[in-house]
Amino acid sequence: MLAYVLKRLGLGILVMLAVSTIVFTLTNVAADPARTIAGEGATAADVEAARIAYGFDRPIPVRYAEWLANVAQGDLGTSYRQRRPVADVVAERLPVTLALGLAAFALALALSLPLGLLAGLRENTWVDRLALVFALVGQAMPTFWFALLGMVIFVVKLGWLPASGSDTWRHFVLPSVVLAYYATPTLMRLTRAGVIEVMKSDYIRTARAKGLRPGKVVLKHAMRNAILPLVSVAAVQLGFMLGGSIVVETIFAMRGLGYLAWESITFSDLPVIQAVVLLIAGIYVLLTLGADILNAWLDPRLRMG
Amino acid sequence: MKLLGKVLSVALLSVSATAALAQQEANKLRWASTQAITAPDPYYNFHREAMLLNGQLVWDTLVYRNPNDGTYEPLLATEWEWKDDTTLQFKLRQDVKFHDGKPLTSADVVYTYNYIANPDNKINVQSNVNWIDRAEAQDDYTVTLHLKAPFPPALEYISTLHAILPEGFYGEAQAANVDGGLIGTGPYVFAEFVPGSSMKVTKFDGYFADSPKGLPKLDEIEFRTIPEASTQLAELMSGGVDWIWYVPSDQAAPLANRDGLVVDPAETMRITFLSYNMREMEGGNPLTDKRVREAIAYAIDRETIVSRIVGAGSTAIDAPCFRTQFGCRDDLTKRGYDPEKAKALLAEAGWDGSVTLSLVGNAIRDRAWIEAVAGYLAAVGINTDVQLLQWAALQERVAGNTVHLSMADWGSYGVNDVSALLNNFFTLTPDDMARDQELSDALIAATKTVDQDARKKSYDFAVSRIVDELYWQPMWTNPATYAYDADLAFTPFPDENPRFFLVGWND
């Protein structure tokens, strides 16, 4: 098991390295960072001044090697835009995204697991149909639209919730629901499919034949196998949420990682873009690893093979 | 996404709003804007929002430019005098105190100017300061500012953009100290700053009574960044904020019908123009034929675009500058909408429609503006390939000579002098698509003398040249639409500077 984990971890580091190389190259090539930094009102002379001041006149490989060496020593650099250490900039955005991501993920699971289970157990009944329609609407409705709809009803009309910001728990309600609803359909359908498949298997028939109570059959025997495929997908969904949803964070003006990524990209704040991408890649690598371990624990065949 | 957003915005507007909270009672103003404040000081910012809040609420300039008539009035300096073309001397007020109680002296002014003029300190907009050589103190209350060369609009910059900081403000770290170090002399005291999100200032009780800015009327001003326009509307209607600006024109009309809100479309100094590429391009450039440029000018119905699309607060213009700017003139060749004349000119030029002209625009402006222009051009047989680009990418295309037409705008930083506009585009810099040596010489000459008559003469020539030779087709002035609580006493000015130090709640 340890060798398995170490191997996956090594692969993860390689993935992060590859991602950082690609991002560094693309952000430098896609637009001239000196022009973006000099700003919209910049003259040609301002742009040249920025180019020299920030060292963009040097070749990309040289700058990349320098950046990598610094990161290896734990120095993520200084934000061009905020003139503060990148680590501070990212660290102060992390709590909002973590809170939003975890709340949305918990909500998505709390919705999708029982709904999926119910739909799977009552396949082709009105309960199943209703759950599927719920999923279909969630999948079809763009996140920003749902967000604005929520705002019309709960902010402008009812005045129950604030429209923007991330100061109190009330600020997290609407964004969490919006983000959760985005993830719910996939999780629900997977649970439903898993339950339908498992309930037809021989060992469930055996369990029933033994006279076990239906609740025990479902929860102890069926669920454990039904959620196997769900674990990997849920890890990816959680990764997406913890990476910060650009759309949700921007609409609700929440100071999270997604919004930071968007701000940094529009401004060519390269050190921050690099750090955010590295962090998100790291989150994905760890979550995928976690999912693999969890799956191996749930299904012994995986760790034997 | 944009269309759906618009539909929803209308939905937002049609529901009944909860009554706005009475901020009036708290004597507090909360305003929101799309852009974020990234640094809490006036010189390391990139957006007007930051510069305005910091530069004029927390800090003062030496001279005050009266927003009503553009005249200069004493602020931190009681008087000033040009000693020669490159030497400006200021006498300071002797009763001004910083927020921490320390008196303002020459040392503070000298520190500020020597700091911002030093390119090693990398303040963001170098062209705002790179004409300053150094400052020196004559005595405790007299400062001399030495310029590198004559720079006639110097007072425009000094009176609007050069906030005076206390000596040692940036310290060794070259960064403002957010914890207690953000000290100024302005009418409001820095209270709180959350990077990228919000900033709060509170009333300064020790502000000098006869300041042209007036005594602060509000107890607190809070700024928040809200990137999404629909969210800003929701906040305004639910009483979460009191003031927003740049309300999209399609949302302004329904918003205006709501009780308790004022929608105020105001003209700004920012002008939109279409620049013609005059350089030879790979595969030929039909725009080098003056008749084609003229045809384009006649083909576009600017009046209709202004009234139907750009909206209230905008005016179609014939001059390549804003009318109040020094050096601007209006007695120029006018080319009104005349599609038949456009077609005739194109026929004369042998235009067969085989070439598609590339037309680029700034992605942050409304797509409908540039599409309307493309539509009018198509109607006379000129096909265009429209691309909306980020400003940096647009400039690269212009500098790289890979674009025929560029539709852009420029706000001159609110500087009431055409040097802040035309010198950026016609002095043979990489952004100069006209490459006219004589024009460039005239514009540069106008910045090398403080003789106003000589300057006027140079600009008269330059402005006429741009219009006569069709280097630019001036289009319209950009509007800024403000929306705010009806109880707020607010006055907009054309330089896109909402002067919150003048704002208060109506009794």
Are A31 and B392 within 8 A, CB to CB?
Answer: yes
Cβ contacts (< 8 Å) between A83 and chain B: which residues? 39, 44, 175
Matching residue, tokens 């706000």: B411
**What is the chain B residue with the closest CA to A51?**
B122
Cβ contacts (< 8 Å) between A157 and chain B: which residues? 15-16, 18
Are A266 and B390 within 8 A, CB to CB?
Answer: yes
pLDDT for B180 equals 67
CA dist B137 and B110 (Å) reads: 7
Cβ atoms B219, B504 nearer than 8 A? no
pLDDT for A139 equals 82
**What is the chain B residue with the closest CA to A142?**
B1
pLDDT above 80: residue A213 = no
User: What is chain A's Cα-based Rg?
Assistant: 24
Distance from CA of B53 to the nearest CA of A (A): 17
Q: What is the number of CB-based contacts under 8 A between chain A and chain B?
A: 135
For an interface test with A, give the residue of B241, B362, B391, B440 to mutate (most A CBs within 10 A).
B391
Q: What is the pTM of this model?
A: 0.80
Cβ contacts (< 8 Å) between B225 and chain A: which residues? 253
Cβ atoms A82, B195 nearer than 8 A? yes
CA dist B90 and B81 (Å) reads: 7
B197 CB near a chain A CB, below 8 Å? yes
Cβ contacts (< 8 Å) between A87 and chain B: which residues? none
pLDDT for B16 equals 41
pLDDT for B433 equals 93
Are B5 and A144 within 8 A, CB to CB?
Answer: yes
Cβ atoms A142, B2 nearer than 8 A? no
Are B231 and A46 within 8 A, CB to CB?
Answer: no
pLDDT for B448 equals 85
Distance from CA of B8 to the nearest CA of A (A): 7
Are B195 and A84 within 8 A, CB to CB?
Answer: yes
Cβ atoms A273, A79 nearer than 8 A? no
Cβ contacts (< 8 Å) between A47 and chain B: which residues? 395
Are A82 and B124 within 8 A, CB to CB?
Answer: no
Are A156 and B15 within 8 A, CB to CB?
Answer: yes
Distance from CA of B390 to the nearest CA of A (A): 9
Are B392 and A32 within 8 A, CB to CB?
Answer: yes
Backbone angles phi, psi at B164, to 5 degrees: -90, 120
Distance from CA of B190 to the nearest CA of A (A): 18
Are A82 and B225 within 8 A, CB to CB?
Answer: no
CA dist B219 and B27 (Å) reads: 6
Phi-psi region of B184 (alpha: psi -120 to 50; beta: other; left: phi over 0): beta
Total residue count of chain B as it appears in this document: 507
Cα separations (Å) of A278 from A98, B23, B329?
16, 43, 54
Closest CA to A106 of A184, A170, A163, A185: A184
B350 CB near a chain A CB, below 8 Å? no
Distance from CA of A161 to the nearest CA of B (A): 10
Cβ contacts (< 8 Å) between B427 and chain A: which residues? none
Give A221's pLDDT tier (boundaries 50, 70, 90). Answer: confident
Are A253 and B413 within 8 A, CB to CB?
Answer: no
pLDDT for B381 equals 93
Helix (H) or strand (E) holding B138, with range, is strand B132-139
Closest CA to A274 of A5, A15, A17: A17
CA dist B407 and B385 (Å) reads: 13
Q: Going residue by residue through chain B (507 aa), what tens digit of pLDDT does each one get?
A: 455 555 555 555 554 444 445 566 789 999 999 887 777 888 887 677 776 666 799 999 999 999 888 899 999 999 999 999 899 999 999 999 999 999 999 999 999 999 999 988 878 777 889 899 999 999 999 999 999 988 888 998 999 889 999 998 888 766 666 666 789 999 999 998 887 788 999 999 999 989 999 999 999 999 999 988 889 999 998 889 999 998 987 788 778 888 889 999 999 999 999 999 999 988 789 999 999 999 999 999 999 999 999 988 899 999 999 999 999 998 999 999 999 999 999 999 998 888 899 999 987 777 889 999 999 999 999 999 999 987 777 888 898 899 999 999 998 888 889 998 999 899 998 889 999 999 999 999 998 888 889 999 999 999 999 999 999 999 999 998 999 999 999 998 888 889 999 999 987
Of B126, B130, B231, the CB nearest to A163: B231
pLDDT for B279 equals 92
Percentage of chain A beyond pLDDT 90 is: 5
Round to the nearest angstrom and report the end-to-end CA distance of chain A: 11
Matching residue, tokens 């993520």: A76
Cβ contacts (< 8 Å) between B226 and chain A: which residues? 164, 253
B38 CB near a chain A CB, below 8 Å? yes
Are B395 and A35 within 8 A, CB to CB?
Answer: yes
CA dist B448 and B467 (Å) reads: 23
A14 alpha-carbon distance from chain centroid: 20
CA dist A200 and A222 (Å) reads: 10
**What is the chain A residue with the closest CA to B239?**
A156
- Residue B457 makes CB contacts below 8 A (sequence gap 6+) with none
* CB within 8 Å of chain A, chain B residues 238-297: 238, 240
Cβ atoms B21, B30 nearer than 8 A? no
Are A260 and B5 within 8 A, CB to CB?
Answer: no
Closest CA to B59 of B137, B155, B176: B176
Of B175, B196, B228, the CB nearest to A251: B228
For an interface test with A, give the residue of B2, B6, B126 to mutate (most A CBs within 10 A).
B126
Distance from CA of B12 to the nearest CA of A (A): 5
Residue B225 forms beta bridges with which residues? B33
Distance from CA of B237 to the nearest CA of A (A): 7
* CB within 8 Å of chain A, chain B residues 395-454: 395-396, 399, 410-411, 413, 424, 429-431
**What is the chain A residue with the closest CA to B364?**
A40
Give A184's pLDDT tier (boundaries 50, 70, 90). Answer: confident
Closest CA to B213 of B415, B33, B59: B59
Pairing between β-strand B28-33 and β-strand B220-225 as defined by DSSP bridges: parallel
CA dist B134 and B86 (Å) reads: 11
